[in-house]
Amino acid sequence: MKVLIVGSGGREHAIAVSVAKSSQVDKIYCAPGNAGIARIAECVDITAMEFEKLADFAEKNEIGLTIIGMDDPLVGGIVDVFEKRGLRIFGPRKKAAIIEGSKAFSKDLMKKYGIPTAEYENFTNPEEALAYLETAKMPIVLKADGLALGKGVLICNTLEEAKAGVRTLMLDKQFGDAGNTIVIEEYMTGHEVSVLCYCDGTHIKPMTSAQDHKRAKDGDKGLNTGGMGTFSPTPFYTDEVKKFCEEKIYQPTMDAMKAEGRDFVGILFVGLMLTEAGPKVLEYNARFGDPEAQVVLPRMKNDVIEVMNACIDGTLDTVDLQFEDKAAVCVVLASDGYPEHYEKGKLITGWDHFDGMEDYYVFHAGTKQTKDGIVTNGGRVLGVTAKGADLKEARKKAYEAVKYINFENKYMRTDIGKELV
Ligand code: AMP
Ligand code: GLY
Over the Cα atoms of the chain, what is R_g? 21
Q: Is the CB of 290 under 6 A from ligand 2?
A: yes
Residue 75 is predicted with a pLDDT of: 97
What does DSSP assign to residue 177? G
Q: Alpha-carbon distance 116 to 282, whole Å?
A: 9
- Ligand 2 atom with minimal separation from the 291 CA: 1
Which ligand has the minimum distance to the alpha carbon of residue 151? 1
Predicted pLDDT of residue 356: 79
Say if CB 204 and CB 198 are below 8 A apart.
yes
Do residues 155 and 222 lie in contact, with contact meaning Cβ atoms separated by under 8 Å? no
β 140-144/65-68 pair status = unpaired
Looking from the CA of residue 188, the nearest atom of ligand 1 is 20
Q: Measure CA 162 to chain center.
A: 27
In total, the chain counts a number of residues equal to 421
- pLDDT tens digits, the chain, 421 residues: what are they? 999 999 999 999 999 999 999 999 999 999 999 999 999 999 999 999 999 999 999 999 999 999 999 999 999 999 999 999 999 999 999 999 999 999 999 999 999 999 999 999 999 999 999 999 999 999 999 999 999 877 789 999 999 999 999 999 999 998 889 889 999 999 999 999 999 999 999 999 999 999 999 999 999 999 889 899 999 999 999 999 999 999 999 999 999 999 999 999 999 999 999 999 999 999 999 999 999 999 999 999 999 999 999 999 999 999 999 999 999 999 999 999 999 999 999 999 998 887 778 999 999 999 999 999 999 999 999 999 999 999 999 999 999 999 999 999 999 999 999 988 7
CA distance 323 to 299: 5
Instruction: Report pLDDT for 306.
Output: 98
- In degrees and rounded to multiples of 5, residue 310 shows phi and psi of -65, -35
Determine the pLDDT at residue 354.
Answer: 78
Q: For residue 164, give the amino acid letter.
A: A
The bridge status of strand 360-364 relative to strand 327-335 is unpaired
Q: Where are the beta strands (DSSP E) in 336-372?
A: 360-364, 367-370
Give the DSSP H/E element, type plus range, for residue 293.
helix 293-296
Eight-state DSSP code of residue 137 = P
CB within 8 Å of 371: residues ≥ 6 apart: none
* pTM, full prediction: 0.96
Q: Report the 10 Å Cβ neighbour count for 321.
A: 15
Residue closest via CA to ligand 1's atom 14 equals: 282
Residue of 70, 194, 273, 296 to mutate, ligand 2, most atoms within 8 A of C-beta:
194
Q: Which of 143, 138, 66 is nearest to 102 (CA)?
A: 143
